[in-house]
Each structure stands twice: as C-alpha cells, then as structure tokens.
Chains A and B, each alone.
Chain A
C-alpha cells in the first residue's frame, strides 16, 4: 500500500478519535464534569502572588544581589508565580461555568450578571494565558522581562462579582 495513504489514514484516524472524545466529553460525562468543576476551586493567596510580581521587590533584589544570584532567585519567583496563575486560570474556568448557568436563568437580572461574569472571567482567562506566555519568556530572560502585575487586580474584580451573584441568587 502507498505510504502516503497509510500516513494520511493515520492522521484521519487520530483526528476521528479526537472528535469521538469530544462527543464523549460533551454527552457521556456531562454530569460528572459539572460536579467535578465545582470541586476545582483552588485557594489563591493573592497577597503572596502580588508580592511575587511586585516591581519594587524585583528592583530591590536586582540592586542587592549579584547578577547570577538575581537570575537564580528571579527564576524561582517566576516558577512560583506560574503556579499561582495556573490556579487563577482554573478558578476563572469555574467562574465561566457559573456565569453560563446564570446567563440561562429566567430572571433577567441574574442572566445579565451571568453574562457580565462570563465576559470578565473570559478576560481573566486571556490575561492568564498571556501572563503564562510572558512568564515562560521571563524564565529564559529573567533580567530583561518582568512578570505582569495586572492579573491580581483582574482576579479580585471577577471574584467579587461572583460573590455578588451569589447574594443575588440567594435573595
């Protein structure tokens, strides 16, 4: 048999398996996913995260440490910050799910807050993605690139919005 046919068949087969996995995730495991998502909230110490991304802290370390030592410490700080961002991203995903449930609610007020929550949480997800990419670059060039500080503020806004939604839904 022609090797081109074999290779393309393998590609098509892998892609078909991917499509089947998507159907499986959507339908067969739908109930599990909803409950699993609720259990995915991760505690995040925002103060510690802000400390890791604070420019003045970085400047202090830069002036008081030798260049090689600064690079080593900065890489450790960036690795820690990456873990925080992964947790923030996970929580933002849960907030998107909450927003989606609220958006379909019969009460227009809750539906409107749900829609707003989705948009804010998605923005947070975008920030998380770009921050992670920036962190990866910062790991390679710790002297040239600093971690972004905007994420903590975004997260605070979105999480308090979710708390507000909780109050409205209970009322």
Chain B
C-alpha cells in the first residue's frame, strides 16, 4: 500500500483523523481476511496472497508508529529512516502484487507442474513486455506535457501499476480462454487488486496536477480504494465455502456429462 506524509505544518484537523482512519481501517480489515483464510485452509491454496496480507499488516505495524514519531519530530530514530522504510515497503508491495497476479494466473493449472511452468514462463514474458510498454507510454506522456521536461521519479511506480492492470486483464481473459470459473476468492483477489491498481496511477497524476499539488485529498482517495479492496477480500474470503458447496449436484453432472459424452462421437 502506498502512503504519503502530510506536510509537517498541517493542523490536527478533522482531515488529519480521516487520513489516519483511512490508513488504519483497511489494514485492520486485513487481519480478519488472513484469519478467515487460515481457518478455511485457503492459505494453502493462495500462499502468496496470504503472505501479501501478512506483509501489509506488518508494514502497517512498523510504519504507523514511525509516521507518528516522524510527524512529531521526536529524535527516537534518524528522520531519514521513515522514507527509507516506506520505500522498502512500497517496493515489497509491488513485488508481491506481481507475485499474487502470477499465483492467480497459474491457479487453473495449479495441480499440473508442467502446465504451471509453461504458464509461468508465458506470464513472465508478457509482464516484461507490459512493463516496458507502460514505461514508454508514461515516459512519452510526461515528456510531452508542458512544464514536464523531466519524467517524475514516481513514474516508474505508475508504470508498474499500469502494467499490473494489464496483467490483471490477462488473468481474467486467461480464465475465460481456458473455460475455468475462478473460485470466489480468486475472483475477489483479482477485483481487489484491480481496484488498487487502477486507482494509484490516477492518484499520482492527480497529485501531480498543479491544482491539487498540496492537497491531502488524493492520498485519502488511495486509502479509500484500498479500503474497498480490503472489504472485497473480506467478503470473498467469507463467501468462498458457501458458494462452492451449492454446486455440482449429481443431476447437473449427469446432464453435463451426457452432453460431454456426445463430444466423443461428434
């Protein structure tokens, strides 16, 4: 999750509390998501997503106290330490996002090591191409904009987020091509990732526009998007078992299998 510090001169206004609420609430929501996954043994099906949840929770536990100390200018640790830890956290989040998308992409063939290796290889190539295309796309956008003769440092981050959107589209289309219905949690993970991935480039650009450069509103919007994602994950982690248990009645299988049996004679 990406977060930005407000200016140190900002008053303790209601916006300040909204900011902390929006930062804390989604991370706290991740705790029941992780617990539900663990209780339903879903951490074995989606180990990387489970690790991502744990990473986000731990990152929050480290960053929040550091941020408070940083804002209050207390000399507990060097002031430059917070941005460094924040950067490490962002980098870890992005790497884990791509790993989760790979996990989703491979999930239809999770039981077949050969097909899994093949699909992993395919995805790595496509991801590489998407990252390069996104970097070129954003580079040309910023370079062509009046007042931006240099590409902003966070353009790489935006490009990676756009590439994530591309990979996510691929994940959904891949399931469609294979004819595999995504499990409720896999669908939820994809949706949640989509909400965060598509909001972040937009917010970066919004922050970059002159009118809102000093506003904290875009940051709140990023947190709100993550809030929505956490709620989606919570819902689908809860819904996973109930949806699957309603499917696959013998009558249904008999009807479908009779159809499928026809394939052999067509």
Contacts and interface: CB of A to CB of B under 8 A. Distances in A.
Interface in B234-250: 244, 247-250
Interface in B251-266: 252-266
Contacts of A123: 112, 115
A5 B206 contact: yes
Contacts of B130: none
B178 to A, nearest CB: 5
B109 interface: yes
Contacts, number: 173
B169 A163 contact: no
B221 to A, nearest CB: 12
* Chief secondary structure at chain B's binding surface: helix
B177 A159 contact: no
A122 B108 contact: yes
B180 A122 contact: yes
A168 to B, nearest CB: 8
A12 B108 CA distance: 27
Interface stretch (A53-61, A67-75, A86-94): A86-94
B215 to A, nearest CB: 14
A32 B147 CA distance: 52
Given A38-B256, A96-B179, A126-B115, A159 B206 contact: no
Task: For the complex of A and B, list the 6 residue pairs with the smallest distance between their C-beta atoms, beginning with the closest.
Answer: A104-B248, A93-B179, A166-B261, A162-B260, A96-B179, A163-B264
Interface of A: 1-5, 7-9, 11-12, 15-16, 18-19, 22-23, 26, 37-38, 41-44, 91-98, 100-107, 110-111, 114-115, 118-119, 121-123, 125-126, 129, 159-160, 162-163, 165-170
